[in-house]
Amino acid sequence: MNTFIRFFYEFISVFLNGLGMIFKGLVGGIKKMFSISDYAKVIDSYNGSFNGLEKFFVFLSVAFLVLIVLLIIFLIVLFVRKLIRRSMNNMSKEELLEEIANLNDKVRKLMKEKEEIMAMKVSQLGLNPDADEEENPEGVVEEEDPAQAGIRFPKLVQLDEDFKNFHPRNYENAFTLEELIDDFRCYSASQLKLYYDFNILRPFFAGLACSKLIILQGISGTGKTSLAYAWGKFVGNDSYVASVEPSWRDKSDFLGYFNEFTKKFNETSALGEIYAASFDDDVHTIILDEMNLARVEYYFADLLSILEMPSRDEWVVDLVPNAWPKDPKKLERGKLRLPGNLWYIGTINNDDSTFMVTDKVYDRAMPIDINTKISAFECREQECVNVNSTYLENLFIDAIEKHPLSDKGEKQVNDIDDYVIKHFRISFGNRIMKQLGVFAPVYVACGGKEIEAIDYFVAKKILRKFDQLSVALIRDEIDPFITFLNKNFGKNTMKECIEYLERLKKSI
């Protein structure tokens, strides 16, 4: 054992001595830079040899050196202050957001407790809580409608009744994706006075093909919510707007929850929209307005995981643990099947009042940036169209068969993958490559080029991950990466990627 101790001491001493030499050399170098006596000795040794003009240059040299030292000190102080300020701001922001979320959560719990207490009182008194005071001024006790007894999903049961004699409408399925996108552009302009460029609409349609969750992000006032609204109007089925609240913590805030005291399920309108979509083949849309006011991975986590399942038979969400005789027809053992004809479109404003969207959400969704406002333009009159979800998805499938990602495009993307792994320690998995295999063909079928699709997809799905890195550590790698893109794809071909990298450089 003594031998090992001597060995370990000598072995670790090599590392510690090296570390000490680094520290000693660093300290010694700093002392040397600020050693006034050394500078004075040099000046004294030459003092008698200077003529009049040389003395002037000596003075300039000393002043220049003093200026450099002061500048270095100023930059160090400025950097430390900026670092401290940024750290304090981030801490204050996170603490404030957490405090707001906690307060909202407490308010929500208190409201639930209030409902439970009121439900107990109602149950004890035999009152009907939905009775209108004006209709019952004498306070007469009314019994619950026998027809509602044992029904815990009254809104969904009513939808069963509403759709009892439902007949699907006639769909106008005689167009290509390129024609459909042009019709949508002209409809928005002529009917709604909303103007969109093909550079926004092509990624939007390609995003609908590769994911059920679209994220529209960008500065305020550029028409993010309006785009989702216009899409619902165009397909003849108004989009439902679910305004996200900061207090949302789990799926019960989005879908509702079962009240054990009233024995009723508190159904949200979003749940009703999901249930109604299962009766037809229309294109349905739910808009998650300002979706990052709460943490998306909290209230939407279950649906994100479910919608990623390869088989739609597995798209099932649990609402209640068991079945009741009078449950809605499409509720199987307390489980609801998510319809395939429903898309979720979230809007995001990035400011101090919102949460950052995590990689888990971005990887499963398709982000679309809207940062420019399109000027009004003249366009033909266009009415809304009757398009069904099955035909739209068949157009997507047909695009994948006719315009598959080329071998050259796949190789170029793999080269980007190898480059970012080597230089930025970031990689993207099979999920993103699978999405690109859908996004690019549909983008091409909408009238675009494959290289444009790759450029847009790489910028929004892959380079976006650079936001999580320390910009100061990767700044020296940005210009070489731009050179790599220009060399492999052609100068300024990858416009979206280069524009993103240039913005990243300016943030340093």
**Element spanning 441, H or E:** helix 430-445
Instruction: Give 16-44 pLDDT, tens digit per residue.
Output: 787 788 878 777 777 777 777 777 777 77
d(CA 223, CA 195): 9
Instruction: Give 328-387 pLDDT, tens digit per residue.
Output: 999 999 999 999 999 999 999 877 667 888 888 999 999 999 988 888 999 999 999 989
Sign of the CA dihedral 44, 46, 52, 57? negative
Tokens of 9: 């001491």
How confident is the model at residue 59, as a pLDDT? 77
Longest dimension (CA), the chain: 115
How confident is the model at residue 143, as a pLDDT? 47
d(CA 342, CA 270): 11
Q: How is residue 458 annotated by DSSP?
A: I
d(CA 206, CA 184): 14
Instruction: Give 237-281 pLDDT, tens digit per residue.
Output: 999 999 999 999 999 999 999 988 888 999 999 999 999 999 999
Residue 126 banded pLDDT, cuts 50, 70, 90: very low
Are 361 and 305 in contact by the 8 Å Cβ rule? The answer is no
Global pTM reads 0.72
d(CA 277, CA 289): 20
d(CA 215, CA 371): 13
d(CA 428, CA 420): 9
- Which of residues 177 and 167 earns the better pLDDT score? 177
Backbone angles phi, psi at 492, to 5 degrees: 60, 20
How confident is the model at residue 331, as a pLDDT? 93
